[in-house]
């Protein structure tokens, strides 16, 4: 257990196969402002090898030499994805390591980075439909309705995997000290009933119809697995987990 009192998803900085041509990498702790305090979060990124052999990297974590060596055995990194405006901090480092990669901006991330004085350049914008670069392999949509941020969600067709960042967080209480358990419970993010954090849910008030429409589209994808950036992800029963985690929209 690290100094923050959170047990990581060991081994970290290591490729872990989810299915054919899709991997996750569990990373170190980050500290995020939450309810007036800075709360430590475990991190996770997703890597997809596209049909053309290029690598698509969702929410890149801290890049170590060991991780880079592993990734370079898979193919060439060509797409660095910021799924929402609070998942971007390491993209500049990855872009320096992979200068031929395109950096993709989520709505509001440029302004957020400027406010946080983090230097990062984005080459292209993520929209409500997948660009030609990965339309053959991945579907996507802007999950709308929040007054704080839109998150771009993705669906890997080949593996029937939904890829999320913060719309569902699912922390296992046995992996954190008592100091943080009350906060996780308050936010509604305790495994096995992880969901959208309470503070983010509140930003949908008065605009839930937009979010319901986005949820319906995700359900139409019929995901079997759901990868999350924070906490235990869902290896199966994807449809049931979606219905459960988004019951707050009813």
Q: What angle do CA 15, 20, 21 make, to 5 degrees?
A: 65
- pLDDT classification of 246: cutoffs 50, 70, 90: very high
Nearest-angstrom CA–CA distance, 181 and 67: 31
**Is pLDDT of 45 > 60?**
yes
Q: What pLDDT, on the 0 to 100 scale, is given for residue 12?
A: 96
Contact between 138 and 201 under an 8 Å Cβ cutoff? The reply is: no
Lowest mean pLDDT among 34-43, 74-83, 159-168, 201-210: 34-43
pLDDT, tens digit, for every residue of 89-117?
999 999 999 999 999 999 999 999 999 99
- Domain residue limits, the chain: 15-245
pLDDT at 3: 61
Q: Is the bond preceding 123 in cis, omega lying within 30 degrees of 0?
A: no
Question: How far apart, in whole angstroms, are the C-alpha atoms of residue 13 and residue 23?
Answer: 12
Task: Over range 56-68, report the average pLDDT.
Answer: 98
Q: Is the pTM of this model over 0.75?
A: yes
| Cis ω for the linkage preceding 192 (within 30 of 0) | yes
Q: What are phi and psi of 44, to 5 degrees?
A: -155, 140
Summarised one tens digit per residue, pLDDT across range 130-147 is 999 999 999 999 999 999
> What is the predicted pLDDT for the residue at 175?
87
Classify 171 as helix, strand or coil.
Answer: strand
Rounded to 10 deg, the angle between the 208-221 and 238-245 helix axes is 170
Three-state DSSP class for residue 78: strand
Question: Starting from the edge strand earliest in sequence, which strands make up the sheet with 161-163, in order?
Answer: 138-143, 151-156, 161-163, 225-227
Give the pLDDT mean for 25-49. 81
238: alpha, beta or left, given left = phi > 0 and alpha = psi -120 to 50?
Answer: alpha
Helices (H), 72-123: 91-97, 109-115
Q: Is the pLDDT of residue 35 over 70?
A: no
- Model pLDDT for residues 184-242, shown as the tens digit of each residue: 999 999 999 999 999 999 999 999 999 999 999 999 999 999 999 999 999 999 999 99
Mean pLDDT of 39-58: 94
Fold of 15-245: Metallo-beta-lactamase; Chain A (3.60.15)
Contact 184, 203 (CB under 8 A): no
Q: What is the pLDDT of residues 153-182, one digit of tens each?
A: 999 999 999 999 999 999 999 888 888 898
């Amino acid at each position: 257990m690290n100094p923050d009192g959170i047990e990581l998803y060991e081994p970290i900085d290591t490729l872990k196969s989810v299915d054919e041509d899709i991997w996750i990498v569990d990373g170190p702790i980050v500290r995020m402002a939450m309810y007036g305090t800075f709360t430590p979060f475990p991190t996770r990124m997703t890597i997809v090898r596209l049909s053309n052999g290029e690598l698509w990297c969702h929410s890149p974590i801290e890049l170590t030499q060991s991780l880079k060596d592993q990734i370079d055995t898979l193919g060439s990194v060509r797409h660095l994805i910021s799924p929402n405006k609070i998942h971007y901090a390491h993209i500049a480092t990855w872009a320096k390591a992979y200068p031929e990669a395109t950096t993709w901006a989520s709505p509001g991330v440029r302004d957020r980075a400027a406010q946080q004085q983090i230097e990062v350049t984005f080459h292209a914008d993520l929209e409500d439909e997948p660009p030609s670069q990965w339309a053959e392999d991945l579907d996507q949509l802007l999950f709308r309705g929040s007054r704080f941020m839109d998150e771009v969600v993705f669906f890997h067709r080949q593996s029937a995997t939904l890829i999320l960042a913060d719309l569902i967080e699912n922390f296992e209480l046995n992996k954190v000290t008592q100091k943080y358990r009350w906060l996780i419970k308050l936010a509604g993010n305790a495994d096995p009933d992880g969901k959208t954090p309470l503070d983010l849910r509140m930003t949908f008030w008065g605009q839930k119809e937009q979010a319901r429409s986005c949820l319906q589209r995700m359900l139409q994808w019929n995901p079997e697995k759901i990868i999350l950036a924070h906490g235990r992800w869902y290896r199966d029963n994807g449809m049931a987990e979606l219905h459960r985690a988004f019951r707050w929209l009813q």
